[in-house]
Amino acid sequence: MSALNHTIDDISPLIQYAGDWRQSTPASDPEISQYLNTTFTTCNTAGSSATFTFNGTAIWIFGAKRPNHGQYRQVSNCVVEGGSIVIGFSVSLDSTVTILHGHADPPIYQTPIFTATNLADTTHTIIITNQQVNASRSYLDLDFITWTSTPRKGGKQTTTLHSSESDFSYAPQAAWSTNSTASSTSSDQASVLLTFMVAWAARWGVPYSTVGPDSGAYTVSIDNGQPSTSNANKLNTTNQVPLFFASALGPGNHTLNITNTPRQGGQVLGIDYAVAARADAASAVSGYVDGSIAFHSLVYIRI
């Protein structure tokens, strides 16, 4: 099966921002329409970072190159682009650093500011950090991220699970309100458990969510594993934003637990529906790739 590209916008909770990042607005930057979906997240303080973990074989980080942007550093054993050592920000991919240039006049938008291909098909972590060594070229922005995964061979079947179905278990039940389209809660530590079955070997999974000013922080864990924390609280409301990514789920029953952990009263976690996709049994039996069964699974959640 062909490789699959996945794209998340800068407002995705999959990206963990630390430091003084802020979402730009038309009032703060008249060039915002040049960015994907008219959104970008920016910082101009040293040490502010954005972290993203993914499973796949290639990744592209898109942003802008502008007059107020400095040079920036990746990590590929200190390879220097253009012979310059001046650093505006750094990108660390699996602890490897490379130095690149982020300044352009006239500006260039929706352009890759970091690219890595031919990666091992496994889990990778990338960190982009503003080093801000030049006060007049202090800005770093993030527009969107695209990465590539390589699914195994085999056909796919999909099933839609609405939030009112028995596959979802809400606790405590009284903390949740459910209507014909969604279930939601504003109670701290209220949780939803989705139980799903993988016939063979799951390849990857992606839940989806609405993010916005009424949303808040939440934790996600699969099969009682270590919870990961994300924050869906954003400046504007956006629907169908990916909020979690999982891979390498083995055959059998699995559970996905999402817990509301609001940082302010009234912040909401909601569930609309899930879509599970898995290869059909005939394809799974016939195809072995790289010593693994040719079978993969998806889990989507939208709130």
Per CATH, the homologous superfamily of domain 4-149 is Galactose-binding domain-like (2.60.120.260)
Q: Flag the least confident range among 45-54, 65-74, 187-196, 249-258.
A: 65-74
3-state helix, strand, coil in the chain (%, to 5): 5, 50, 40
For the beta carbon of residue 43, count every other beta carbon within 10 angstroms: 25
pLDDT of residue 294: 19
Contact 271, 175 (CB under 8 A): no
* Residue 137 DSSP SS3: helix
In order, the DSSP letters of 35-76 are SGGG--EEE-STT-EEEEEEEESEEEEEEEEBTTB-EEE-EE
Token match 């009424």: residue? Answer: 214
pLDDT tens for 201-230 read 444 455 566 788 999 999 999 889 999 999
Average pLDDT, the chain: 79
> pLDDT at residue 85 above 90?
no
The CATH number that domain 157-302 falls under is 2.60.120.260
* Residue 174 DSSP SS3: helix
In order, the DSSP letters of 99-133 are EEE-B-SS-EEEEEEEEE-S--SEEEEEEEEE---
CATH 2.60.120.260 domain residues, the chain: 4-149, 157-302
pLDDT tens for 223-269 read 899 999 999 999 988 877 777 776 656 667 788 899 999 999 999 99
Strand order in the sheet with 157-162: 157-162, 273-278, 297-302
pTM of the model: 0.81
For the beta carbon of residue 105, count every other beta carbon within 10 angstroms: 10
Query: Which among 160, 165, 188, 189 has a CA at the least distance from the CA of 178?
Result: 165
Q: Flag the least confident range among 117-121, 194-198, 287-291.
A: 287-291
